[in-house]
Chain A
Amino acid sequence: TQLLEQSPQFLSIQEGENLTVYCNSSSVFSSLQWYRQEPGEGPVLLVTVVTGGEVKKLKRLTFQFGDARKDSSLHITAAQPGDTGLYLCAGRNTDKLIFGTGTRLQVFP
């Protein structure tokens, strides 16, 4: 069974701080996606990484795919209250997604 573990599970920080969320697996994925989900809503796609070692930036968010395509990280610079939410990584297994356990981020003003 493929598992994606995310750490930390919970993160509570002040506005302006930096943070990193990790997504780890023992399995190789053809691609990995990061989503953000707000309470009562569906996940919203942030980014897809495909190539080992790939780095993608989305404003203050930096995503990296591990060289072996087994792990990924999400770094947020100068977090803002609007970044609050559940961050999910998802590895692509054939045609379906295997989701991580999620990291719940709370950014206080």
Chain B
Amino acid sequence: DTGVSQDPRHKITKRGQNVTFRCDPISEHNRLYWYRQTLGQGPEFLTYFQNEAQLEKSRLLSDRFSAERPKGSFSTLEIQRTEQGDSAMYLCASSLALWDGEQYFGPGTRLTVT
């Protein structure tokens, strides 16, 4: 399978704990995106990378959120001091760096903060 993969698929954590998610993009894709989706809503953009450079961050990405893509391949999204409002599906997508590069999504990581 050469699609986008995410790990873990599900994460349950207690409020105040830190969590980290990983995304492995399609191998030849140099752009990687993070989105968040809450129940009954469409995904909302969080941030994206071109190679290792983080090019844009949404205002949704508070100081407790940090994303990295150190070698321009896989990416991690860390949430510090989780809150119940962080409960959501975290989706990763990748694309080629073309003006109309289509984004392909991974299966997501479902985070539940208790």
B41 within 8 A of A: yes
Q: Which of B62-108 contact A (CB under 8 A)?
A: 91, 93, 99-100, 102-108
Are A42 and B42 in contact (CB-based, < 8 A)?
no
Are A40 and B110 in contact (CB-based, < 8 A)?
yes
Question: Of the candidates A42, A50, A98, A100, which one forms a contact with B100 in the assembled complex, judged by CB atoms under 8 Å apart?
Answer: A50
Mark contacts of B29-49 with chain A using CB atoms, 8 A cut-off: 1 yes-contact digit, 0 otherwise.
Answer: 001010100001111110010
Nearest residue, chain A, Cβ from B40: A102
Question: Of the candidates B99, B102, B107, which one forms a contact with A42 in the assembled complex, judged by CB atoms under 8 Å apart?
Answer: B107
A79 within 8 A of B: no
Are B41 and A101 in contact (CB-based, < 8 A)?
yes
Closest chain B CB from A10 CB (angstroms): 10
The contact size tier of chain A is 20 to 34
Question: Of the candidates A44, A100, A102, which one forms a contact with B105 in the assembled complex, judged by CB atoms under 8 Å apart?
Answer: A44
Q: Which residues of A contact B99 (CB under 8 A)?
A: 30
Closest chain B CB from A64 CB (angstroms): 18
Closest chain A CB from B93 CB (angstroms): 8
Are A42 and B110 in contact (CB-based, < 8 A)?
no
New A-B contacts (19) at CB < 8 Å, excluding given A30-B99, A41-B108: A30-B100, A33-B102, A33-B103, A40-B107, A40-B110, A42-B91, A42-B93, A42-B105, A42-B107, A43-B105, A44-B105, A45-B103, A48-B100, A50-B100, A97-B45, A97-B103, A101-B41, A101-B42, A102-B41
Q: Please list 16 pairs of residues, one from A and one from B, whose beta carbons are closer than 8 Å in the complex, sorted by A's number.
A: A4-B42, A31-B100, A40-B107, A42-B6, A42-B93, A42-B107, A42-B108, A45-B102, A45-B105, A90-B42, A95-B48, A97-B33, A99-B35, A99-B42, A99-B43, A102-B42
